[in-house]
Amino acid sequence: MTAWERGKRFVVRHGRLLERAVLAQCLEGEAPGRVALALQAYQNPDGGLGYGLEPDLCAPESQPLFVEFGLHTLYACGLRAPALARAACAFVARHADLQRGIPTLFPSALAYDHAPHWDSPAAQEPSLDRLIGLVGLLNWQGIEDAWLARAVPACLDLLETLPLDDVHTLQTAFCLLESVAPTRDVGALYARLADQLSRTSHFIAEAPVRGYGLTPLHLAPTPESYCRPLFREEQIAAHLDDLLSRQQEDGGWPIAWSPPSESAAWAWRAHNTLSALMTLRAYGRI
């Protein structure tokens, strides 16, 4: 059985409806719409996303963390879901402050099972990093919204001076730059973010991967990715070799942190497996 066949079997066996929908639509050519429909099942009446969409948190209420996870899923698949994005934008606008940011979690979230890293008080503090990511992912969706029209230039201004010290933030900041029309010169900002990349926490520049972090393949999951020019050919090739080598006997890829439950662990492994399959296929490795 090939790496692709083993990985697909793992996703079908252990993935949630969302992961199965991404597999069907983005890797097997099923008709458009299934991924957006799966995400709509997580959408609350307030426009936000809930119900444990990010598997490290089981809260049913809408959380900025869940909105970012859902929008990033669409971005990773190259999909736009305008109705879902407009509702999510209204949710973000109600809770965000363009000078202070938006929290990752609301206090209600911690009443439910969650991974230990979400116990950090910083997760409930307004964050400009989280705001930049959400604004970038929303703007990439191509929706028209009066608040978003103000938020995009405000976040671009922040990127001119705000130090970004975590690669997760840098990843979504690049998405913001990608989403901006050519009417604004983003070349200097792109260069500034590229310069910061090597100094950010949780960035694993060179293979092999020995712990938790994002690699060049997370920022450039396809040869056409916006961030692909940031990385050397041999750097990408080494990470592709390493990624393929980390497929486990059961067909899935591992995780490198402690989720809140066994079911969350399976969901994350299915998510990681799907991501690995998409990247390896995009680069012609499977």
Give me the percent of the chain exceeding a pLDDT of 70: 99
| Poorest-pLDDT segment among 2-16, 179-193, 222-236 | 179-193
Quick: pLDDT tens for 15-25: 999 999 999 99
| Poorest-pLDDT segment among 15-24, 29-38, 117-126 | 29-38
What token pair was written down for 236?
């990408």
pTM: 0.96
Residue 30 pLDDT grade (very low, low, confident, very high; cuts 50, 70, 90): confident
Q: What is the pLDDT of residue 102?
A: 98
Q: What is the pLDDT of residue 183?
A: 66
Tell me the CB-side half-sphere exposure of residue 214, using CA atoms within 13 A: 19
What token pair was written down for 59?
């809260």
Contact predicate 207/217, CB 8 Å? no
Over residues 249-278, mean pLDDT: 96
Mean pLDDT (the chain, rounded): 95
Gap between the Cα atoms of 286 and 283, Å rounded = 8
Residue 185 pLDDT grade (very low, low, confident, very high; cuts 50, 70, 90): confident
Residue 282 pLDDT grade (very low, low, confident, very high; cuts 50, 70, 90): very high
Tell me the CB-side half-sphere exposure of residue 204, using CA atoms within 13 A: 16
- Return the closest-CA partner of residue 202 out of 236, 237, 238, 164: 164
Quick: pLDDT tens for 234-253: 999 999 999 999 999 999 99
Cis before 208 (ω within 30): yes
Over residues 203-218, mean pLDDT: 96
- Return the closest-CA partner of residue 81 out of 137, 159, 150: 137
List of residues 6+ apart from 208 with CB closer than 8 A: 242, 245
Over residues 53-61, mean pLDDT: 97
Over residues 202-224, mean pLDDT: 97
Q: What is the pLDDT of residue 42?
A: 98
- Is residue 181 scored above 80 in pLDDT? no
CA 32, 55, 162, 205: dihedral to nearest 10 degrees? -90
Gap between the Cα atoms of 117 and 238, Å rounded = 30
